Amino acid sequence: MADGIGLTHGADLARPVAGEPAPGRGQGRAKVAVLGATGYTGVELVRLLMGHPGVEVVAATSDSHAGERLDRVFPHLRPCPIRLLPTSAPVLEAVGDAAVVFICLPHGLAMEKVPGLLEAGKRVIDFGADFRLRDDAVYQQWYGRPHACPDLLGEAVYGIPEVNRARIAGARLVANPGCYPTSVILALAPLAGWPGVEWSAVVADCKSGVTGAGRSPSQGTHYPEVNDSLRPYNVAGAHRHVPEMEQELESLVGGPVRVAFTPHLVPMSRGMLSAVYLRCRPVPSVEELQAAYRRRFEGEPFVEVLEPGELPATAHVRGTNRCHLAVTVDGRTGTVVVFSAIDNLGKGAAGQALQNLNVMMGWPEDTGLQAPGLFP
């Protein structure tokens, strides 16, 4: 890696390392580039990177604002004198001497750029869906096109550190997960191996802020269409996050999983709340589940299992990389209900990407992500 930064591999990161000194400013800094820096996830990533003591952002791109200074496009980033290059430029020219490249582009564009980046020795964290699915046939089924580099699907590591930390540490290519799958997978991970869970009938009822739809204007995200309204979309298994959820949950469970997923658009800028329902025989007690969840996430800096009777709220994780979980039991129907709250731009996107970078670089996992949430 550039600047003499070493890597920590494998089981060394079976649990996160937190509370250790962060990389010193100007000492062993990793040079990074951001392709697509003016979308919601891209600009949130830049904001977080600016506060990271071990990172130097050396390049950023945007076709819509090529040639402009980033802090003129987004004054809240001042001072940030980076001048935006066109994303359509040759990729190696655009990223310069960056050692790690974040790709924050629409689905289908990363696969055109990743092979060249890897060949040049770069490490890549992709925000899109191009490398999240391991099966090329499944990708074609859900995205309606052949994959440009199916040989890389088996190499890409799905980037939830709480699940794949050891593999992320040594990865060249990390597929940053979708926000909905992150919230659902974290909600269910402690139940992998639990006896009697009916994995064939998981129900995920999820609500997201409007930034989850991206920054490009559309009627469906226009203020008068969204304000004072709550609506579902892509229902009845039509959402492309379904195979992503099932793939990763099946890896954890070791068998088939079927998720009935319904996303909803909520009139707020950012935040996500998921309610996940599943049946279990015999029905466990809340105390048993609470203990299992606490064991599973012990030592994790970004996942908090709330106290019995406490329920998560999106306002309590806004602007953070945290996930708040609460587990309950409806004894009358024999249903386990897990609630999961994240910031869709934080743990659901940019925050998780920075957490992945920390894992890849062998840095304390909370470096650059320690700030408390925003309230109100």
The sign one gets for the Cα dihedral 174, 179, 180, 186 is: positive
CATH number for the domain whose boundaries are 2-177+348-361: 3.40.50.720
Return the pLDDT at 288. 96
- Would you place residue 3 in the very low, low, confident or very high pLDDT band (cuts 50, 70, 90)? very low
Cα-based distances in Å from 308 to 276, 288, 322: 17, 12, 19
DSSP per-residue letters across 266-283 = -SSSS-EEEEEEEEBSSP
**Model confidence at 15: pLDDT above 70:** no
Show me where the domains of the chain are located: 2-177+348-361, 180-344
Question: Is the pLDDT higher at 140 or at 25?
Answer: 140
- Span 73-109, pLDDT tens digits: 999 999 999 999 999 999 999 999 999 999 999 999 9
CATH number for the domain whose boundaries are 180-344: 3.30.360.10
- Would you place residue 349 in the very low, low, confident or very high pLDDT band (cuts 50, 70, 90)? very high
Three-state secondary-structure class, residue 314: helix
Q: Would you please indicate which residues are annotated as catalytic (active-site) residues? A: 179
Q: Which residues of 240-252 are buried (b: 16+ CB within 10 A; e: fewer)?
A: bbbbbbbbbbeeb
Three-state secondary-structure class, residue 182: helix
250 membership: H or E segment, kind and range:
helix 241-253
Which residues neighbour 92 within 8 Å (Cβ) at sequence distance 6 or greater? 116, 117, 120
- pTM reported for the whole predicted model: 0.92
Q: What is the mean pLDDT of residues 292-300?
A: 98
**Model confidence at 166: pLDDT above 80:** yes
- Span 192-250, pLDDT tens digits: 999 999 999 999 999 999 887 777 777 777 778 888 889 998 887 778 899 999 999 99
- Span 327-340, pLDDT tens digits: 999 988 999 999 99
